[in-house]
Structure 1
Amino acid sequence: MLGKRLQELRQRKHMSQQECADYFKISKASWNFYENDKRAPSYEMLTKIASFFNVSTDYLINGEKTSPTGPIDLKKTDVLSYDGKPVSDEDLAIIRAILERNK
């Protein structure tokens, strides 16, 4: 069932398997194995995936409807997306700088 949830979350962001694989720095085959429940992601990868899709790890593993997890603290995350595309580290730094300047 984890695979089904990963596929649904990916499709909601209008991302391909290759785009997800690239974002998480894994092979497309690895992402495909996750979606087809042939391999389970490590705990570290699972937390990165949950953060990226703004869901809890409980939701990914058990389907618990605690998703989304709530507001994202930009000081504590390196994983954001806009219009279904990952925000680059450079853009995230710019966003943080603007927010700091406008405190």
Structure 2
Amino acid sequence: MFGSRLRDLRNEKKLTQDDLGKMLNVSGKTIGAWERDSRQPNIEAINKIASIFNVSTDYLLGRPEKKEDDAKTADIEDLDKMIDNARSFGGKKMTENDREIIKAYLKGFYDNKNQGK
């Protein structure tokens, strides 16, 4: 995974293996070995690569980056679970209808709040 991401990033910037090697103080052959996943760079090199290409080290290492939309979906799911588990408020029993109204209100509130960002 690392090797293919490195190769793709290098090609996007139209850099040769030798060009990138000079930037990282390694040989072009070393870059080739990294791209084939036959060798792995050290932490310092990974950090430099992330800086050069303006990506996260997580991205380079193949971890999926959590997208903002995924985070919003997770937050809404958490909110739904919280409200679904609410059985009373102020000593009064909450009905299913009450919970649905509260969910709709809060979703609308947060959607409007996030549009201003």
TM-score (norm 2): 0.54
Gaps of at least 5 residues in structure 1 are: 68-103
Paired residue secondary structure (2:61): helix
Relative to structure 1, the CA distance from residue 66 to residue 49 in structure 2 (aligned partners, 3 Å threshold; closer, same or farther) is farther
Relative to structure 1, the CA distance from residue 66 to residue 51 in structure 2 (aligned partners, 3 Å threshold; closer, same or farther) is farther
What is the CA distance between 1:65 and its match in structure 2?
3.4
Alignment check: 8 A CA contact 1:34 1:41 kept: yes
What is the CA distance between 1:23 and its match in structure 2?
1.0
Find the counterpart in structure 1 of residue 8 from structure 2: 8
Gaps of at least 5 residues in structure 2 are: 68-117
Q: Deviations over 1:52-97 (max 9, x none)?
A: 1000000000242369xxxxxxxxxxxxxxxxxxxxxxxxxxxxxx
Number of matched pairs: 67
Percent identity between the aligned chains? 39
TM-score (norm 1): 0.61
Name the structure where helix makes up a greater proportion of residues. 2
Relative to structure 1, the CA distance from residue 33 to residue 48 in structure 2 (aligned partners, 3 Å threshold; closer, same or farther) is same
- AA aligned opposite 1:2: F
Relative to structure 1, the CA distance from residue 65 to residue 25 in structure 2 (aligned partners, 3 Å threshold; closer, same or farther) is same
Moved over 2 A (4+): 63-67
Identify the structure with bigger relative contact order (alpha carbons < 8 Å, sequence gap 6+): 1
Alignment check: 8 A CA contact 1:50 1:60 kept: yes
Between structure 1 and structure 2, the one with the greater Rg is 2
User: What is the aligned-residue RMSD (CA, Å)?
Assistant: 1.6
For residues 63 and 6 of structure 1, the distance between their equivalents in structure 2, rounded to whole angstroms, comes to 14
